[in-house]
Structure 1
């Protein structure tokens, strides 16, 4: 029976993109063995020996010599060149070979079948020699049913579609024209209604569409006129000719009048795939395997642009979390859907750009729909810190998920831990990959078998690891000690009580380094689910049932602590474990560092959290903030408890402070497993546990001694701590060696850079530099012999990558030079101009600002600042214009008079002028009756003046007036232009404009559009989730409003520099409730 996930009509688009991984023109194409033809959507063209219409690939030998294909490989995954290997098959000159891409994996020369299928949506295809060299490769685009794609003529560099496939025969080109389906508007986020028109190039084509996620068929609604959407809508369409589908299904999600604050994952699927009582995966959450996989179209939208859109399969992901209202989901990219792999760099923290599966992760036990202690950040926090340590992580990023026409909440998109993860991250194709199973040491086999795991576990059972030779065998064959130790320390420190009997993944390379390595996964039970004094170290090393630590502990779980227990019996490992724990608590796991990871994650997700909580029905939104504060408290309280538990576990007497001082001479000190920077440095270590200290001299220096004469004069020593200690390494120069230190780049500007370095002998200095490694320019040799060198390069170009190397010549004319280094000059940064407009504020006028840019230099212009109760100031940048100022209501502001505008230039520069980045006139304007504003400019000590004339309108309506700036002699400095504007109409939707300036110093202002009257509240929070001040809480009428924050807390005190969050809550009189969050950057 065909699995349900395949019950989807194949795509029929002829649109394609061919990328040849070869050079030269078609005339120069001289390859002999090529992939000549392929059929990626075979329904009735031909069948294999099983009478099945499988996909196929045709090879062609265009040469004059027969080719033995033994050891050649073919693949549809660029990161796995050896995906399928040819047996000993000889391809004669000018002969063809048909290879079925069926997934059946057969090496019978009479009928070859690869272990993969082709993706009808287009994908990579590559042929490799036995030594791994590329023989032929390209990427083909979307394919149509029973139409092949190949080279015309055979063996050439030209590709074409073929209406009549020619397996194992000469290619013939007779493909029909491509049928297209075009949308007038791209999918994405729209404020205000959006109208979408569709069209096709086929004269008889009918466009059928749906708006609820269902796949369009010949009986679906016939498109006849443009469609207008006022809310989130998924539009799925297809072209039919006489009832036959001529294109694949095209899905577009229009997020209208919604306000997601994160990148978007949009999923389009037939509602029955989720909600049907018989086949729906959401209402049958415990269904697993291919039988419970359903077809979807998935799109990723970031910064308003669709970054990828692909067909895929989807399943429910997880174990116990399947009962939650908000479930984790898993995406599968397969050739059956049209695309074998997703080719996109999803995660900024990794360079991977090929994915077979992805997880949309709703943290198990850590979400609003499933836990009162939720934060939705615990697992991401573990992975973020673990990544800094150097651990193996599943990459992550937060997204806003839309399922058909509904916002589904905040999710974390993740890599799935499976064979493709190991292949992509480590290049290992032959592996054992296991996940722990509750209640048994027998693993869940994700890949491979349990033979080597049984050998490993058996070695631990049968051998005394106190014997050094046995411990060496563990380190060299069975366990990657550093990874194993860090993995356990990370879980223990984070108090992950749902581990190690659960959520434990490990793998090893069957063809290379055999040692097991552990992968972090699902630590949603860490950080605050247990108290800061939770005895996780005791839990992770227990040798008996401890229901006092976990109510459902039993004998079957003790296997999970066995390996760590046995290792800790070895004195060498015990010392390493304790010192590594101390090293990490002094660095990566230090409270301030962990908190910085927390703050970074909060900054990513906090703008979306209000929508998430509302979506999943949490009435008390402050609960999330309290839970976040509980995590923060845990971070600061955990280290003291953890040190006490380590001392209790190992019978240690106390702590000692190790201080590392800056060295004499040049070099560094490695303490156990870390090399601290930013000296002097202090850390807490355990008394009675020897630490290892190593002095590392810089090139040209030699270690002489330690500052403490009682310590051996050796570069590497062991110290058994009994008290606090200060360590300083003393390095001396090696007199026969002429050397230089690594050059340091400092003071980089738009047109200059300063380079500093040292030599161990007095020397002259020169710098070679240029836009390439060929340099081409050099500074003059310096005139003085010195050991400290500082050279400033000037007259550089802005935003340019420069190569450089430094040269030195000593008194004996010996020369040395550094390796090539690089730096990039800064972008042009316009000069800051201070300016002030004094305006009498009558009738409580309020003003808002709109940022614009200069067309020629794209210079930022900021912003409006209320300096006193009746005075506004604004800042300008060189070669740009500031803002548009209008009253709060659309009436003539008869009582508003301007006194004076004063602009003082801070250095060289030009006054405001030109137009914005789109060529529109967003000028230094305001609404007022006739007046004259005096503008003064100063350039150095020279003061010049100009007049700005503002007139009233003929019809009595307020105008937006431009500024014409000129010098006193009449010389034009630039005219901004002018526009008329009618009285503003009421906004049609709730909106929060960007704040200006941002970053800000004294105060910042933001605009608010209210479509109706209601209660408006603005609150400022810090990144710790703590409320700083209520900016406003009052009823406001419909219209455009503005609010300001002066950088002070509720007590009227100035707050420190940093990132703050503005949360705006609007409760309309109609009952609608809107929330939005913005980041504000305060710089003192």
Structure 2
């Protein structure tokens, strides 16, 4: 009998709910029809009365249906217009982008206070529904370890420069980072530009140069590291000067839902879109290498070929230079190593490993990435970070470290090549003028952007003053070299000098090992004639305008140039 009564009650409840759903469906039928019109922008769902009402009734949670529509699409197809779909009520509503809302009316534009625009420094404002940030189930800040397209939320982004709105659009927003996802600090984000949100790319010519365009992904990187700021862009500038491949960056002041988060760094996202922008295609084998052994992430390409390369590279037997050059871009590897040795990041083994699958003769190469632990010991806070031995960070579980040490052990040619590259880089690329100019550049950004604690600037300045001497000593030990010595070159002020193949001026000073002689070429100006050299007060007349000299002690080389004497024609009587 009790079972019979429960059955009748259940039937009654089902009938009642059905009637209510029919009534609600009729009530919201006009609204559904309006939402299917292009004149109703999707922004209304999050920030206008219609969307608020639907959400309060628990009938609407609009998210990009990335998993269904994008799962099997290649990167070049990701930005075509697709539908959004409504998850909770399962009503298939056709939504459209932001074509009818001017950029200055987007929430990310209107939320910025006039006082914040009085500072001319670039400003990025992002506005997102707080539910999409903090909801325990769907919020990206509440679930920072969640990844992928299903954890991308619709938002708005505006970019201001010199107090003027330059660009604004709807975007998709995700959490970005590795261990920083769980750190007690403001998170980094990724912005995705897709037609379902608004613009398909960031406005060209605004933040990066043409090599990075079109910009379809963008990282908003929190560069604050315990009172160390703007480390990544400074380290990237140094790595690029050395000749390594680096992403482009742009420091900005970042606001989230109107609240200042700090100084962030806009950074190229190393993805398939990056490959397409820089190389014109995405047919690469692409592996995100990580610091911890066994955590590298295969992305795209030929996995078997990657595994075969890694197995070969991480063996322990010595290698010749020719063996490595057959498979690896050795110049790229060497310049990556030099950038790591100088900047001394304590989590060095990062950055994509790539192979161009369209070229049958392609060689493996790397892109520098995530150098924000540079110029400091992030983990132990040593008093003199410029004394760090980064040779120890090149560990054998990673192909870069393994190949480097196998070459040192097995190839005299590589030892000579790398020592010469080291000397030329330290003497002619990483000059004190360059290093201190870059540091002054980022110090001024720190001042302009409102960074108060700038003690790290002085520590970095000392790092630049001492690091090269420490590296010379470490090179001497690792490569079994003799001591290094200073060599100064002088000439008349209007005489052009070419030293080691680099254009230099009188007063140049570099440091050399005995196995890396200095090569000086003097180019006299018009009306001048080269006379001779003076080396450590000794006249040398046995060579011409080019001299190659082994530096076995502190040395001064002087090029002596004389003015040509004009001869007058004498008249015959």
The aligned counterpart of 2:186 is 326
Tell me by how many angstroms 1:497 deviates. 1.4
Q: Give runs of aligned pairs for residues 983-1022 of structure 1, distance below 5 A.
A: none
Q: Compared with structure 1, are the counterparts of its residues 404 and 715 closer, same or farther at alpha carbon in structure 2 (3 Å cutoff)?
A: same
The answer as to whether partners of 2:496 and 2:522 remain within 8 angstroms in 1 is yes
Match status 1:256 vs 2:114? yes
TM-score, structure 1 length as denominator? 0.40
The aligned counterpart of 1:281 is 140
Q: Compared with structure 1, are the counterparts of its residues 465 and 630 closer, same or farther at alpha carbon in structure 2 (3 Å cutoff)?
A: same
The aligned counterpart of 1:723 is 553
The answer as to whether partners of 1:419 and 1:446 remain within 8 angstroms in 2 is no
Match status 1:605 vs 2:453? no
Write out per-residue CA displacement over residues 864-923 of structure 1, whole angstroms, 9 at most, x where no aligned residue: xxxxxxxxxxxxxxxxxxxxxxxxxxxxxxxxxxxxxxxxxxxxxxxxxxxxxxxxxxxx
Q: Give runs of aligned pairs for residues 501-900 of structure 1, distance below 5 A.
A: 503-512=350-359, 514-529=362-377, 530=382, 531-541=384-394, 557=397, 561-569=401-409, 570-610=411-451, 624-662=453-491, 668-671=497-500, 674-686=501-513, 688-691=514-517, 693=519, 695=521, 707=533, 719-726=549-556
The aligned counterpart of 2:31 is none
Q: Compared with structure 1, are the counterparts of its residues 296 and 489 closer, same or farther at alpha carbon in structure 2 (3 Å cutoff)?
A: same
Q: Compared with structure 1, are the counterparts of its residues 305 and 626 closer, same or farther at alpha carbon in structure 2 (3 Å cutoff)?
A: closer
Tell me by how many angstroms 1:338 deviates. 3.9
Q: Compared with structure 1, are the counterparts of its residues 352 and 657 closer, same or farther at alpha carbon in structure 2 (3 Å cutoff)?
A: same
The answer as to whether partners of 1:103 and 1:116 remain within 8 angstroms in 2 is no
Tell me by how many angstroms 1:527 deviates. 0.5
Write the distance in 1 (CA, Å) between the matches of 2:143 and 2:412: 52
Write the distance in 2 (CA, Å) between the matches of 1:457 and 1:730: 55
The answer as to whether partners of 2:128 and 2:154 remain within 8 angstroms in 1 is yes
Tell me by how many angstroms 1:537 deviates. 3.8
The aligned counterpart of 1:362 is 222
The aligned counterpart of 1:489 is 338
Write out per-residue CA displacement over residues 80-99 of structure 1, whole angstroms, 9 at most, x where no aligned residue: xxxxxxxxxxxxxxxxxxxx
Write the distance in 1 (CA, Å) between the matches of 2:310 and 2:102: 60
Q: Give runs of aligned pairs for residues 87-126 of structure 1, distance below 5 A.
A: 115-116=77-78, 118-119=80-81
Hey, which of these two has a bigger chunk of strand by percent?
1
Q: For the pair shown, which has the larger CA radius of gyration, 1 or 2?
A: 1
Q: Compared with structure 1, are the counterparts of its residues 310 and 10 closer, same or farther at alpha carbon in structure 2 (3 Å cutoff)?
A: farther
Write the distance in 2 (CA, Å) between the matches of 1:601 and 1:515: 35
The answer as to whether partners of 1:656 and 1:684 remain within 8 angstroms in 2 is yes
* Equivalences, count: 480
Tell me by how many angstroms 1:665 deviates. 11
Tell me by how many angstroms 1:313 deviates. 0.6
Q: Compared with structure 1, are the counterparts of its residues 103 and 638 closer, same or farther at alpha carbon in structure 2 (3 Å cutoff)?
A: closer
Tell me by how many angstroms 1:714 deviates. 8.7
Q: Compared with structure 1, are the counterparts of its residues 718 and 449 closer, same or farther at alpha carbon in structure 2 (3 Å cutoff)?
A: farther
TM-score, structure 2 length as denominator? 0.72
Q: Compared with structure 1, are the counterparts of its residues 676 and 179 closer, same or farther at alpha carbon in structure 2 (3 Å cutoff)?
A: closer
Q: Compared with structure 1, are the counterparts of its residues 392 and 633 closer, same or farther at alpha carbon in structure 2 (3 Å cutoff)?
A: same
* Residue 329 of structure 2, aligned match among 471, 480, 497: 480
Write the distance in 1 (CA, Å) between the matches of 2:73 and 2:187: 35
Write the distance in 2 (CA, Å) between the matches of 1:11 and 1:711: 88
Q: Provide the secondary structure at the position in 2 that maps to 1:380.
A: helix
The aligned counterpart of 1:498 is 347
The answer as to whether partners of 1:533 and 1:642 remain within 8 angstroms in 2 is no
Q: Provide the secondary structure at the position in 2 that maps to 1:265.
A: strand
The answer as to whether partners of 2:119 and 2:162 remain within 8 angstroms in 1 is no
Write the distance in 2 (CA, Å) between the matches of 1:296 and 1:699: 62
Write the distance in 1 (CA, Å) between the matches of 2:247 and 2:338: 18
Write the distance in 1 (CA, Å) between the matches of 2:143 and 2:542: 69
Q: Give runs of aligned pairs for residues 449-464 of structure 1, distance below 5 A.
A: 449-460=302-313
Tell me by how many angstroms 1:427 deviates. 2.9
Tell me by how many angstroms 1:485 deviates. 1.5
Q: Give runs of aligned pairs for residues 263-342 of structure 1, distance below 5 A.
A: 263-323=122-182, 324-342=184-202
Q: Provide the secondary structure at the position in 2 that maps to 1:277.
A: coil
Write out per-residue CA displacement over residues 339-366 of structure 1, whole angstroms, 9 at most, x where no aligned residue: 4333422435555441110000013xx4
* Residue 405 of structure 1, aligned match among 258, 268, 289: 258
Write out per-residue CA displacement over residues 842-862 of structure 1, whole angstroms, 9 at most, x where no aligned residue: xxxxxxxxxxxxxxxxxxxxx
Tell me by how many angstroms 1:326 deviates. 0.5
Unaligned 5+ segments in structure 1 are 1-8, 16-53, 55-100, 107-113, 122-143, 148-177, 188-233, 237-250, 544-556, 611-620, 733-759, 763-1084
Unaligned 5+ segments in structure 2 are 1-34, 42-64, 84-92, 567-573
* Residue 427 of structure 1, aligned match among 262, 270, 280: 280
The answer as to whether partners of 1:658 and 1:726 remain within 8 angstroms in 2 is yes
The aligned counterpart of 2:240 is 387
Write out per-residue CA displacement over residues 98-134 of structure 1, whole angstroms, 9 at most, x where no aligned residue: xxx999669xxxxxxx94552489xxxxxxxxxxxxx
Q: Provide the secondary structure at the position in 1 that maps to 2:270.
A: coil
Higher relative contact order (CA 8 A, sep 6+): 2
Q: Provide the secondary structure at the position in 1 that maps to 2:504.
A: coil
Write the distance in 2 (CA, Å) between the matches of 1:385 and 1:429: 28
